[in-house]
Amino acid sequence: MTGRHETDLERWDRNLIELLQEVRVIQTGVQVLFAFLLTAPLAARFPELTDFQRYDYFATLLATGAAAVLLMAPTAYHRILFRRGDKRFLVEVANRFTLAGMAFVAISMVGALLFVTDLMFDGAAVIVTGFFAAVACLLGWCVLPLRRRAQLSSADARSRSA
């Protein structure tokens, strides 16, 4: 039970609005990172990149492009399915696209940090930066929310059996 006095349609409407607001926040960061990555080859030092830096750059560019596509998909779905009475499906699909998009955002952020760190430093700094960035995304975006979700599911199961 949600504790709200709303119909199913009102709940799906609210869920969609909340999801699209969250996507708007993420999209801005992805668009800025994508713009940076698209202009990077124009920099004077770009031809001097090592093979690792080139592969990292390209993987990061692809991941950022994928993140942008996935995070824009809910809006496209909403426009195409507008007024078709399929709000529940729309929310479920948009949620999947958003989660997949966030995974690619994490890959993009780690890749961009690796790229810039490798341009500035050698060796350990690159590894440590990449490791901590990946762990931060994994903990903040996956492990901790999934842990809380499991706790809530356990609490719900206990309250239903009581």
- Structural domain including 40 reads 8-161
**Dist. CA 54–CA 60, nearest whole Å:** 10
Name the domain count of the chain: 1
Give CA–CA dist 137/102, Å, rounded.
Answer: 10
Q: Which two tokens stand for residue 37?
A: 């990555």
CB within 8 A of 133, min separation 6: which ones? 109, 110, 113, 114
Distance CA 39, CA 127 (A): 25
- Is residue 2 in some structural domain? no
CB atoms within 10 A of CB 75: 15
Residue 3 lies in a domain: no
Residues 6+ apart with CB under 8 A from 29: 105
Is residue 16 situated within a structural domain?
yes
Query: What is the pTM assigned to this prediction?
Result: 0.82
Element (H, E) at 108: helix 87-120
Residue indicated by tokens 């399929």: 86
* Residues 33-57: b if buried by 16+ CB within 10 A, e if exposed: bbeebeebeeeeeeeebeeebeebb
The CA-CA-CA angle for residues 8, 148, 107, to 5°, reads 95
Angle, to 10 degrees, between the axis of helix 51-80 and the axis of helix 8-39? 150
Decide if 1 is inside a domain.
no
Position 110 in a domain: yes
pLDDT tens, residue order, the chain (162 aa): 457 788 888 888 888 888 888 888 888 889 888 888 888 888 888 889 999 999 999 999 999 999 999 999 988 888 888 888 788 888 899 999 999 999 999 999 999 999 999 999 988 999 999 999 999 999 999 999 999 999 998 888 777 776
